Amino acid sequence: MTLSINNISVDILGSSILKNINFQTNKGEIFCLIGTSGAGKSTLLRALNRLQSISKGEIHLNGQSIYKMTPQSLRKSAVMILQTPSLFEGTVEDNILFGVKLNGSYDKTDSKTVARSLLEKVGLETKLLDRNASTLSVGQQQRVSIARAIAMKPTILLCDEITSALDPQSTLHIQELLVTLKREEKLTIILVTHNMDLVQQIADRVGLLIDGKLVEVSPVNEFFNNPTTELGKNFLSTIA
């Protein structure tokens, strides 16, 4: 088990946004959080690395309460990747090494080798290392964001709609990359997405969030072939 979420709720400005959420993730699984717009998927993801406070419940990462970790060490283990790649004006290498430099956890002498191997891992040519990141395509930038995330040697990637700004070809690249990271790095990946084709291609399990409640958690094939709840059936009928 990597993450254990026990009975958490989130209230924002007096509104109940997440209600008594419970689930666990396994090491090396892709868990897709799906659901209607405004159901609370991003809020839940943000709660997992303390970008959003919770009003009750507990969250443990590798057996430790995330509230007993410093936000810095938590966000090194549970790295968030967003819909729009947030790279700064600078080289691809600088962007990839940004997080590890902040944490002081890299060896300056072999930084180029580290950046090169990370770039290879995400399927980009190493000649891009010295390019200004802003000159890359959005799909390439998203892969640089992923390289920057895995440079931190995280246990969990928290991915919020990371393919929604991408064309189908780039989406396919990211899809393949996530599966490789799960397989080779044994990373746990929580992916918020509206792309049901992507979910069916890569998820191990699916969590369906409706109106702030996690109404169903099922293995992906079971969910799409035989959802166990009425809300699951209704959701699938709206996207068919």
User: x/- binding map, residues 17-56, to ligand ATP, per CB under 6 A?
Assistant: x-----------------x-xxxxxxx-------------
Contact status: 70 vs ligand ATP (CB under 6 A): no
**Least gap, CB of 43 to ligand ATP (angstroms):** 3
- 14: tokens are 């007096």
Contact status: 12 vs ligand ATP (CB under 6 A): yes
CA atoms of 223 and 1, how far apart (whole Å): 21
Using a 10 angstrom Cβ sphere, with 0-12 exposed, 13-18 middle and 19 or more buried, the burial of residue 23 is middle
What single-letter DSSP state applies at residue 119?
H
CA atoms of 53 and 141, how far apart (whole Å): 29
**Least gap, CB of 229 to ligand ATP (angstroms):** 18
- 140: tokens are 């390439």
Q: Name which of 15, 76, 71, 18 is nearest 44 in CA terms.
A: 18
CA atoms of 27 and 156, how far apart (whole Å): 9
Question: Would you say 136 or 192 has its CB closer to ligand ATP?
Answer: 192
Within 162-221, the residues that bind ligand ATP by CB under 6 A are none
Stretch that binds ligand ATP, among 9-17, 65-73, 174-182, 226-234 (CB under 6 A): 9-17
**Least gap, CB of 133 to ligand ATP (angstroms):** 26
For residue 8, what are the β-bridge partners? Answer: 21
Size of the residue set binding ligand ATP (CB under 6 A): 11
Q: Are 157 and 45 in contact (CB under 8 A)?
A: no
Stretch that binds ligand ATP, among 11-19, 66-74, 102-110, 126-134 (CB under 6 A): 11-19
Q: Looking at 13, 63, 70, 72, which residue binds ligand ATP (CB under 6 A)?
A: 13
**Least gap, CB of 36 to ligand ATP (angstroms):** 7
Contact status: 80 vs ligand ATP (CB under 6 A): no
Question: Would you say 83 or 126 has its CB closer to ligand ATP?
Answer: 83
Q: Name which of 121, 180, 190 is nearest 155 in CA terms.
A: 190
Question: Would you say 38 or 219 has its CB closer to ligand ATP?
Answer: 38
Q: Name which of 33, 18, 53 is nearest 211 in CA terms.
A: 18
Q: Which residues bind ligand ATP (CB under 6 A)?
A: 12-13, 17, 35, 37-43
